[in-house]
Amino acid sequence: MASATAGRRVDLVKTLLEEAVASAGEALRQSDFGTTMQTFRANRRKAHGTGWSWITALELNQGPPIQRALTAAATLKAAGKGDLFTVEDSEYLGWASQARLAIQRITAKCWSPIPAQIRTLIVDEDDLPDPLGHGYIRNTRVSQLGDLLGPVGLKDPLSRAALRLVWSEAKATPAFLAARESAEAIASDPSLAARLRLRRSETLKQFQPHSTGEMLVAVENRCRELITSTYANEPLKVQEVALSIRAYNRLVQHVLWSILGLAERNEGLPPIVGDTGPIRVRYTDEGTQVAVSYWGDDRRWFPDLTEPFELVSPLTGIYLITGFAMSFAGREIIDLTGKRLGSLEGRSHDTAHMT
């Protein structure tokens, strides 16, 4: 079982990666990229209040910023409702497609020097085609070249420096070291690589719907099951390399989700303090999970599933929301469950998935 937080620490409390993620989130929030995200978000919410936007409606609970818009659009297209996009929707989706390329460029930096052809040998949730799945940003292990950051407003030195720090810290984690060792093992063993390639090819073929009548949710459940069981009957060596690459992939996804969630906010995120009641902490193979309640106020009462939150001593760290509920009787109470980013930095994790 992994330790509660496996990474290197700032003042022995927050991990260096968490600190870098918080800085990057703040830098991106103030960049053109963040401003664009915030503008689109405000417009969509306004549209939701005054009119009807299918994208807005379907975006809810669809995963990380940017990806969720593209998932919603793909869902509509799959349902034969592509003509329902408004002009604003189309503009937003155009930008989101570009932004996803930029994100893929950022994640490529997190994976370097592990070659793309090796890191993509392992099947994971980011391989699911849109609109299936809504936990991972798609294709974050592929290699994207060229200046993809500039066109979406990520050319300012502050953002670039902050992102450089993130991928530097990500690559200093035990999770990355384990993934790199696995990549080296694959590179040095052609039969292992061939076996992984075959499994990947077989699995991806099955991601397609069995029939035109198969429900989307059924396809998604089937695909998730496939991903979970892809390496279940493989030799231990195969399982180990798959596990370590997936573990690092999960960390990268959470890092991305946190940065994008922070960047999308109109203002910085205050930590949850004050009367939180007993915070229940559970240590699992999927990381440290917390359940916390707090009172709503003007600044923080309606959490967005995609934004991370911070807790205070002794649980200081960045957490990603895994669920929330609200009580409106009297003063609003918000209950959050979350997973600590720092707890994903360790080496050993199972094949469970971010949900």
Partner 1 sequence: MLLRTRPLVFLSSTITELADIRSEVKRQLDQLDIVDSWLFEYHRAASGATPDEQYLAYARTCDLYVVIVADQASPATQAEYEDAVRDNPEKVLPFFIGPDEGATADFRAALGQRHTFVRAGHPDELIEFVVAAIRHAVESGGLVQQGLRAALLESVSRSAALLNLALEFLPRVKLNDGESEGLLLDECLERFGRVLVIGEGGAGKSHGILVTLFRLTQASHKLPLYLTAHEGTRSIEELLESAFDSVRFYPGIDLINQYSREGRLLIGVDGYDELSAESRKRLLALVRGYADRYPRCSYLLAARYLDRSVLPTFTEASMAAISEGQLTDALKAHGYEQVQPRRDLKTELVDLVRRPFWLGALLKAGLSPRSPLAILQALISSRIVQSEPTESIKQVRTRRAAALLALTARPSDRVALPEALDALSVWARHDYIQDTFGQVAAVEYLEDVTASGLIVTNGGTVQFAHSLLAVVLAGEELVRRRDLSPSAVITDPELLPYVAALAADQFPSEMVEVLAASDVFLVARALRLLETRESRAYLESDAARYQKALSALRHLIGPGMPEDTEPEQIHVATDGVWLAISPSPSFEISVISEAEYEQWSNAVRAASDRLVVWTKNPFDDMTPESVAAAEIVLRFKEKLAGLRPSGDPYERADHTVVRRFLDGTTTRDQDIVDAMLTLRRYRSEVIEECGIHRSPYFYEPSGMPLIELFRHGNTARIRVIWGQDSADVRVAAGDGEQWYDDISDYLVADLRPREYRKLLSQVEHALGTPLTVTTWHQPRLVAGWTW
Residues in contact with partner 1 by the rule CB under 8 A: 1, 3-5, 11-13, 273, 275-284, 291-293, 295, 311-316, 325-327, 329-331, 333, 335
Whose Cβ is closer to partner 1: residue 253's or residue 343's?
Answer: 343
The nearest distance, CB 290 to partner 1, in angstroms, is 8
The nearest distance, CB 342 to partner 1, in angstroms, is 10
Helix (H, G, I), strand (E, B) or coil at 306: coil
Whose Cβ is closer to partner 1: residue 102's or residue 311's?
Answer: 311
The nearest distance, CB 333 to partner 1, in angstroms, is 5
CA distance 195 to 192: 5
The nearest distance, CB 169 to partner 1, in angstroms, is 18
Question: Which DSSP helix (H) or strand (E) runs through 14?
Answer: strand 14-15
Q: What is the DSSP string of 116-163?
A: HHHHTSS--GGGSPTTS-SSS-TTTTS---S--SGGGT--SHHHHHHH
The nearest distance, CB 346 to partner 1, in angstroms, is 11
Whose Cβ is closer to partner 1: residue 46's or residue 282's?
Answer: 282
In this structure, is the dihedral angle defined by the CA atoms of residues 78, 226, 65 and 331, taken in order, positive or negative? positive
- How far CA 255 is from CA of 129, 186, 308, 310, 324, in Å, comes to 21, 25, 10, 14, 20
First to last CA, the chain: 20
The nearest distance, CB 94 to partner 1, in angstroms, is 38
Whose Cβ is closer to partner 1: residue 96's or residue 315's?
Answer: 315
Whose Cβ is closer to partner 1: residue 19's or residue 26's?
Answer: 19
Whose Cβ is closer to partner 1: residue 4's or residue 142's?
Answer: 4
Q: What is the DSSP string of 37-104?
A: HHHHHHHHHHHHHHS--HHHHHHTT--STTHHHHHHHHHHHHTT-GGG--HHHHHHHHHHHHHHHHHH
Question: Which DSSP helix (H) or strand (E) runs through 18?
Answer: helix 16-30
